[in-house]
Chain A
Amino acid sequence: MPGRDDTPILKTSHLLGIEGISVGEITALLDLADDYVTLGRSAEKKLGLLKGRTLINLFFEASTRTQSSFELAGKRLGADVLNMSVKTSSVSKGETLIDTATTLNAMRPDILVVRHQDSGAAELLSRKLDCCVVNAGDGSHEHPTQALLDALTIRRRRGGFEGLIVTICGDVLHSRVARSNIVLLSKMGARVRIAAPRTLLPADADRLGVEIFTDMRAALAGADIVMMLRLQQERMAGAFVPSTREYFRFYGLDREKLKLAKPGAFVMHPGPMNRGVEIDSTVADDIEVSVIQEQVEMGVAIRMAVLDALSRGLAAGGRNAP
């Protein structure tokens, strides 16, 4: 059971992306998260590690799942949690991100969790604030806690990553989830494939060390894990994809396509799902293959691990100490 252990886990005082952390750091975070899964399944779920600390959830984009997951993680660790969404902040009144940061800084938070529609927003804040910054998704750049929770889900089911074939399907172009997962899974020794129509593949994607497919069936052949990405509504109307029915026909995961993957392969989705667009309900709801609910549970555990790890740096002197 986790307790007051001050062994450092992260070398930096922020978690801005998977790109900046090592295999050792990832492994340590996953090990710690395993303990928090156990804690989350027990009757008494609360610890006092962050007692007296202030955690601000600053969300410029709506996100029920990630925001509540961080909120719960913070509360279970005993922190005071403040949720700020864009509708209630001054940003909707025209304040710049830096002004917001300065204002928040004056409230002396210990940890700031931020989601923003622009890539690099979390990094910008990390340079302007005295607290720890956790990137909860910045534009099309990174979503590190999503990749970590996906990794936790995979590791608990498969024991490791070496040699696993993970096929990531869908809107890779706009997906921060895909970028973080590609980096993490490659680091950990998995073989990553991406499958999408060419309009949804980023330029020079092959340079990311993945195998590229435009034929989803070929990408699924022999896959151990199928990771589906959400296709945003506004991208289905003809600019990137001509229609949802065409997308589902060629890139939607249904029973028939899933048969091409390895027997026992499982399906992941970061949520929220578009049923009948990227995934068929019969697949999404099949507990034999779909681990989508499990991903949500792992999400709370991984965020507790991340907050715990970052707070260890605070304990060693505190970034925001007077």
Chain B
Amino acid sequence: MTGKRTAFVNARLVDPASRLDAPGGLLVEDGLIRDLGPRLFHDGHPADAEIVDCKGRVLAPGLIDMRVFTGEPGSEHRETLASASRAAAAGGVTTIVVMPNTDPIIDEPSLVDFIKRRAAATASVRVLPMAALTRHLAGETMTEIGLLMEAGAIAFTDGDRTIANARVMRRALDYASTFGALVVGHAEDPDLSAGAAMNEGEFATRLGIPAAPNVAETIIVERDIRLVELTGARYHIGQISCRASLDAVADAKARGLPITCGVSAHHLALNELDVGSYLTFRKVKPPLRSEADRAAMVEGVASGTIDVIVSSHDPQAADTKRQTFAQAAFGAVGLETLLPAALGVHHDGRATLLHLLATMTTAPARILGLDAGTLAKGAPADLVLFDPEVPFVVEADDLHSRARNTPFEGRKFQGRAQMTFVGGVCVYDRARDAEN
């Protein structure tokens, strides 16, 4: 039995895995990529296939976002798996890796199973749960990494919390390495950054906002690099945000350590000055840094020291953001602006489109051990169609996330998803969206 076939014609095929960037076509059958290439469909389209005319736009592997916070379970008013997946689809993201920082915290095999079942029932994109590294995210005792992996946890993290105790971190890395599990760390020394709302420096001084120095991040990055050296565990730093951290990671990689790292799209596009007049939507963790640090992050993406770009999507309800800067919650939504904000690095001439897309496709797939993130025959047909040149203005009201706390309101970007496909099924079509 031959299933549903979809023919993508007149596409600019961009596949970082094979370094392909050429005009061509792609055929999807039964949710998988059946064939692709510049000469495909030269002899005409398959008669039984549905045709998608790409009109010369980029057809690339769907994005994989390694850092997404939702509110399900526990605070569904902020975001559900369903609403996060709608935002992801609208952003060209076909796989979201969700953090365990929910209520209850995902630190039990049955809760991993809950996320998977809820996602299967309600989400339109692929959802991969990370489980907590320590019970209750308390940074004291490790979770059942073996059983959680069997339940389907893709990696282990305390999300936006740092494990302060080096002994606990060492044992957790040791134990994780027993199972070959990936540990994802958050680098922010909890004592140095206690009570801080932004990056320490002249601007924080002028605003009078309690601030933490960027070394609060680098101290943990350097500590964890030493612990990885000791334990041999696979370790990914969820986000870095400053030059010194970048240098530390570059050095660790040069020494052959199994370390990777990410950066959020907003740390590539914004700096501490964007806090402006106490804009709480730009209060994020780690905080927006100096322009020099922001430029270092772009440099890190360009050099490949930074492996992945993430949205660090963190939906917050209006009431927790409509506060003084010090009181407001941390976090910004980002799924729908991940691609446009990241594309800025390409538009500024710092990275080819292939290189830039690799940070959101092949790199996360490699780190997580997924077969997604590539336009290969037999791979799942997770696709994004976009024109990298078309400009638009970010408007919070257009967002699909349940929360509207975008740090990019009013910002002009170039290039956003027009259509998104998961397993060959269209999960987002901007043309149709505009009619509604």
B134 contacts which chain A residues (CB < 8 A)? Answer: 238
**Is A245 a contact partner of B174 (Cβ separation < 8 A)?**
no
Report the bound CA distance from A60 to B168 in whole Å. 30
**Is B178 a contact partner of A238 (Cβ separation < 8 A)?**
no
Report the bound CA distance from A214 to B145 in whole Å. 14
CB distance from A276 to the nearest CB of B (A): 15
CB distance from B170 to the nearest CB of A (A): 9
Mind listing 26 A-B residue pairs with CB under 8 Å? Answer: A197-B175, A197-B178, A198-B174, A198-B175, A198-B178, A198-B231, A199-B174, A199-B175, A199-B178, A214-B177, A214-B179, A238-B134, A238-B135, A238-B141, A239-B141, A239-B142, A239-B168, A240-B171, A241-B175, A242-B135, A242-B145, A243-B144, A246-B144, A246-B147, A249-B146, A250-B146
- Does A237 reach chain B (CB closer than 8 Å)? yes
Report the bound CA distance from A239 to B171 in whole Å. 7
**Is B231 a contact partner of A238 (Cβ separation < 8 A)?**
no
Which of A214, A242, A245 meets B142, CB within 8 Å?
A: A242
Nearest opposing residue in chain B for A214, CB measure: B178
Chain B residues near A (Cβ < 8 Å): 134-135, 140-147, 168, 171, 174-175, 177-179, 231
Report the bound CA distance from A249 to B179 in whole Å. 13
Report the bound CA distance from A237 to B231 in whole Å. 21
Report the bound CA distance from A126 to B6 in whole Å. 83
Nearest opposing residue in chain A for B167, CB measure: A239
**Is B174 a contact partner of A242 (Cβ separation < 8 A)?**
no
B145, B146, B171, B174 interface centre (most CB from chain A within 10 Å) = B146
**Is A199 a contact partner of B171 (Cβ separation < 8 A)?**
yes
**Is A249 a contact partner of B147 (Cβ separation < 8 A)?**
yes
A246 contacts which chain B residues (CB < 8 A)? Answer: 144-147
Report the bound CA distance from A187 to B179 in whole Å. 32
Nearest opposing residue in chain A for B232, CB measure: A198
A243 contacts which chain B residues (CB < 8 A)? Answer: 144
Report the bound CA distance from A238 to B139 in whole Å. 11
Inter-chain CB contacts under 8 Å: number: 45
Q: Which residues, 215 to 250 on A, are CB-close (under 8 Å) to B? A: 237-243, 245-246, 249-250
Which of B144, B168, B177, B231 meets A242, CB within 8 Å?
A: B144
| Number of A residues, CB within 8 Å of B | 15
Report the bound CA distance from A245 to B174 in whole Å. 19
CB distance from B49 to the nearest CB of A (A): 47
Report the bound CA distance from A246 to B147 in whole Å. 6
Nearest opposing residue in chain B for A243, CB measure: B144
Report the bound CA distance from A250 to B181 in whole Å. 15
B146 contacts which chain A residues (CB < 8 A)? Answer: 246, 249-250
Report the bound CA distance from A197 to B144 in whole Å. 12
CB distance from A250 to the nearest CB of B (A): 5
CB distance from B95 to the nearest CB of A (A): 27
Q: State the 4 A-B residue pairs at the shortest beta-carbon distance, nearest first.
A: A238-B141, A246-B144, A198-B174, A197-B178
A240 contacts which chain B residues (CB < 8 A)? Answer: 171, 175
**Is B142 a contact partner of A238 (Cβ separation < 8 A)?**
yes
B140 contacts which chain A residues (CB < 8 A)? Answer: 238
Report the bound CA distance from A119 to B19 in whole Å. 59
**A242-B171 in contact given A197-B178, A214-B178 (Cβ < 8 Å):** no
A242 contacts which chain B residues (CB < 8 A)? Answer: 135, 141-145, 175
CB distance from A111 to the nearest CB of B (A): 41
Q: Which residues, 154 to 208 on A, are CB-close (under 8 Å) to B? A: 197-199
CB distance from B30 to the nearest CB of A (A): 36
Report the bound CA distance from A237 to B168 in whole Å. 13
Nearest opposing residue in chain A for B168, CB measure: A239
CB distance from B100 to the nearest CB of A (A): 15
A239 contacts which chain B residues (CB < 8 A)? Answer: 141-142, 168, 171
Nearest opposing residue in chain A for B134, CB measure: A238
B143 contacts which chain A residues (CB < 8 A)? Answer: 242
A198, A214, A243 interface centre (most CB from chain B within 10 Å) = A198
B145 contacts which chain A residues (CB < 8 A)? Answer: 242, 246
CB distance from B339 to the nearest CB of A (A): 38
Q: A214-B178, A242-B141, A249-B147 are in contact. List 8 more A-B contacts (CB 8 A).
A: A198-B177, A199-B178, A238-B141, A242-B135, A242-B143, A246-B144, A249-B146, A250-B146
**Is A237 a contact partner of B178 (Cβ separation < 8 A)?**
no
B171 contacts which chain A residues (CB < 8 A)? Answer: 199, 239-240
CB distance from B207 to the nearest CB of A (A): 42
A199 contacts which chain B residues (CB < 8 A)? Answer: 171, 174-175, 178
Report the bound CA distance from A246 to B135 in whole Å. 14
B134, B135, B171 interface centre (most CB from chain A within 10 Å) = B171
Report the bound CA distance from A117 to B160 in whole Å. 40
Report the bound CA distance from A199 to B178 in whole Å. 8
